[in-house]
Amino acid sequence: MVDRVVGSNPAVILDVACGPCGVTKRLAGATAAHVVGLDLSEEMIRVGQSNVERAGLSERISLVLGRGEQLPFGDGTFDALTFTYLLRYVNDPVATLRELIRVVKPGGAIASLEFAVPNSRVWRVAWWLYTRGVLPVAGFIAGGRPWWIVGRFLGPSISQHYRKYPVPWTVDAWRAAGIERVECRSMSLGGGLVMSGYRAGRA
């Protein structure tokens, strides 16, 4: 996902749903841009700020509390935008996509990373067994009941999302929102999906 935006040499990047700033730090490391990370969780912002400070990137990264569905920025503020694991958690993916591209300059790069359901029947069965069985148990061993709950939630959440919004639908939604040259790249044997494109219009 990071590779999809760094080639345009952006000066200012917005990383939506930044969480603990793993992607945010990668963006800062791969570009000379100032990176703004946004998340709706105060706890994640605090963890992210700590991670940014430990990495010595406080002057390159700013963190903002906010929602992807209602960004606190003006039109065309950013040269590029990334978002991670976002559309599964919003009520209206189409409206959210429109809001995301609103803050990107015409011609600016947009990229996302999301879990996915493998297309191959063999890998889909293995994925189902892993997400429904192995993941919750591993979560419980690593972090107790809270991570057991997270492990049990993740697989059904991904399956439900793609039943309602399959990948071809999502590609059409990106295009309808005003994103051109939309590309998809399947990763992790189909368990991950990177999408990318550019806001319509001339830079």
pLDDT tens digits, 17-59: 999 999 999 999 999 999 999 999 999 999 999 999 999 999 9
Q: Are 104 and 110 in contact (CB under 8 A)?
A: yes
pLDDT for the residue numbered 45: 97
Domains in the chain, start-ordered, CATH in brackets? 2-117+166-199 (3.40.50.150)
How large is the average pLDDT for residues 107-134?
92
Q: How far is CA 174 from CA 35, 70, 135, in A?
A: 23, 18, 31
pLDDT tens digits, 132-151: 888 888 888 888 888 788 88
pLDDT tens digits, 175-199: 999 999 999 999 988 999 999 999 9
Three-point CA angle 170, 176, 177, nearest 5°: 90
> Between 75 and 120, whose confidence is greater?
75
pLDDT for the residue numbered 149: 85
pLDDT for the residue numbered 53: 97
d(CA 11, CA 114): 25
Mean pLDDT for the chain overall = 94
How large is the average pLDDT for residues 81-86?
97
pLDDT for the residue numbered 203: 65
Element (H, E) at 5: helix 2-6
In this prediction the pTM is 0.92
